[in-house]
Structure 1
Amino acid sequence: MRREVQITTPDGTAAATVHLPDGEGPWPGVVMFPDAFGFRETFREMGDTLAASGFVTLVPDLYYRSPGWAPFDPATAFGDPDERARLGALMGSLIDDPGRVIADVHAYVDFLLALPEVDGAAVGTTGYCMGGWISLTAAGELGAKIAAAASFHGGKLAVEDDPVSPHLAAGRISATVYVAGAEEDDSFTPEQADLLDRALTDAGVEHTVEFYSARHGFAVRDNATHDAAAEARHWGALGTLYGGTLLKS
């Protein structure tokens, strides 16, 4: 079951959907951060899928500060100069101001934990593309409130000269971390993967960092690079991650 909700943040009100499993709760909670193309039906369907596995899933509109923004068509967004510029501006409104992201993730997680349908004192996160960066940023910011954090074809997760790179917060991460990169993805290279792995290892964070044999965008069904086998693998990885953390907390 889906429920439309409004979440109060320091900068306004974010629309979101809550996706509930069938049966009697409460259940563990997960925040699902969309990719750069934003809050849309594809991600609501993904929220339904995760809820069917037994997790209350919150999918927020990351671009709520730009009310009335029009949904992007992933097939054409990068090929149309105007759409590419609009997409870049919306992405930049978050990536270039991490304080906004930090304020938002606090609001999203606190909202989810306060729901009567949600059990436990910690939640999971998962994110895609830009959302993967947000997922790991949340893990470093919220500490024990995040029990498991995943990133799928996320970018800029371990950039040596970036002061807000998530790997720098490894020492503050309490979550078990799962990262799946894509092939030939300049936003998350093998060098970044090595740096992230070293940072998490040195911090004593339980983690997996690996690459799927698929292109950036593999887990999201409306992306031109969607890969059905990689998507299925990603759902399996989430089930294993959350089953070993959220269902035990």
Structure 2
Amino acid sequence: MPTKTLHISTADGRADAFAAFPDDGEPHPGVLMYPDGFGIRPVLRDMARELAGHGYYVLVPNLFYRHGPTPVIELPEHIGKEDRTAVFARLMPLIEAHTADRVRRDADAYLRFLTAQPEVVTGPVAVTGYCIGGLAATRTVVAHPDRVAALAAFHAPVAADGPDSLSRLTAEVHFGHAESDLTPETLATLNKSLEASGIHCTSEIYPGTVHGFTMSDTDAFDPAALQLHWDRLLPLLDRTLPRG
């Protein structure tokens, strides 16, 4: 599986990124994958390779490139409960500085870069993300409806910008929520906002999960929920993206 470390010119500098894609010399649909707040690390590279193995060019940008290249902060091999307080003390200033305006500026650069790669077919792409990366994915799709055919976000605060933002979505959407992140009542309110947009959408709580359930290097990891994530994501991409 070919992989690359890349640098993307943005309005605010150069963002480092990781890419994985099939080794067949053919162009494939593009997927912009935003990492969670812990950033690009082995588990994200593995997930990008897994997705690329299904026939996609996957680009994973460093959300916090303004503060330095990957790894922006040092992380333990496994991010357990005993490490989270210290890790988040260092991460929160970066997360708080990553404003909606910054996300939108970066998104334009990432999408232009992704669609310009010779390994990517012409046409719309998909955007997916995890935790804060899921919010960045949602903001990206709202800002660029003509360039994105599918959006998937997992254990992410997708409603952070309010229902009016979600009503502007035009891509097909899947939101996979952690059971610890929202109540059934909150989910019903969220889904009502999504229904108002008229898009094809699934938005569901993954049973028995806590925030971060897709990430195998954390205590939140749930193998069954990670598989459900693939079971939702892969068909979404297959039916929405061009194959060349």
The Cα shift of 1:38 comes to 1.1
Q: Does 1:72 align with 2:75?
A: yes
- 2:110 maps to a residue whose letter is Y
Who is 1:242 aligned against? 237
Who is 1:114 aligned against? 116
Aligned pair in 2 of structure 1 residues 25, 189: CA closer, same or farther (>3 Å)? Answer: farther
Name the CA distance, whole Å, in 1 between partners of 2:83 and 2:199: 37
Deviations 1:39-64 (A, max 9, x none): 21211111111100101000000010
Deviations 1:164-185 (A, max 9, x none): 33x3223432210000001122
Aligned pair in 2 of structure 1 residues 136, 34: CA closer, same or farther (>3 Å)? Answer: same
* Structure 1: tracts of 5 or more residues without a match: none
Deviations 1:147-204 (A, max 9, x none): 000011112x225xxxx33x3223432210000001122xx44344223211221111
Who is 2:92 aligned against? 88
Aligned pair in 2 of structure 1 residues 43, 199: CA closer, same or farther (>3 Å)? Answer: same
Q: Does 1:36 align with 2:43?
A: no
- 1:180 maps to a residue whose letter is G
Name the CA distance, whole Å, in 2 between partners of 1:101 and 1:189: 27
Name the CA distance, whole Å, in 2 between partners of 1:77 and 1:135: 27
Who is 1:221 aligned against? 216
* 1:92-241 superposed matches below 5 A: 92-94=96-98, 97-155=99-157, 157-159=158-160, 164-165=161-162, 167-185=163-181, 188-213=182-207, 214-241=209-236
Name the CA distance, whole Å, in 1 between partners of 2:159 and 2:59: 26
Runs of 4+ in 1 over 6 A off after TM superposition: none
Aligned pair in 2 of structure 1 residues 174, 60: CA closer, same or farther (>3 Å)? Answer: same
Name the CA distance, whole Å, in 1 between partners of 2:201 and 2:4: 32
Deviations 1:106-132 (A, max 9, x none): 111110001111113211011111111
Q: Is the 8 A contact 2:28 2:243 kept in 1?
A: no
Aligned pair in 2 of structure 1 residues 7, 189: CA closer, same or farther (>3 Å)? Answer: farther
Deviations 1:187-225 (A, max 9, x none): x44344223211221111110000112221111111111
Deviations 1:84-119 (A, max 9, x none): 22111111111xx21000001111111000111111
Name the CA distance, whole Å, in 2 between partners of 1:127 and 1:2: 19
Aligned pair in 2 of structure 1 residues 248, 175: CA closer, same or farther (>3 Å)? Answer: farther
The Cα shift of 1:248 comes to 6.7
What do you get for the CA RMSD once the two structures are aligned? 1.7
The Cα shift of 1:34 comes to 0.4
TM-score, structure 1 as length reference:
0.90
Q: Is the 8 A contact 1:38 1:71 kept in 2?
A: no
DSSP-derived class of the 2:175 partner: strand
Deviates more, 1:49-58 or 1:224-233: 224-233
Deviates more, 1:70-79 or 1:98-107: 70-79
Name the CA distance, whole Å, in 2 between partners of 1:189 and 1:19: 36
TM-score, structure 2 as length reference:
0.91
- 1:208 maps to a residue whose letter is T
Name the CA distance, whole Å, in 1 between partners of 2:192 and 2:220: 29
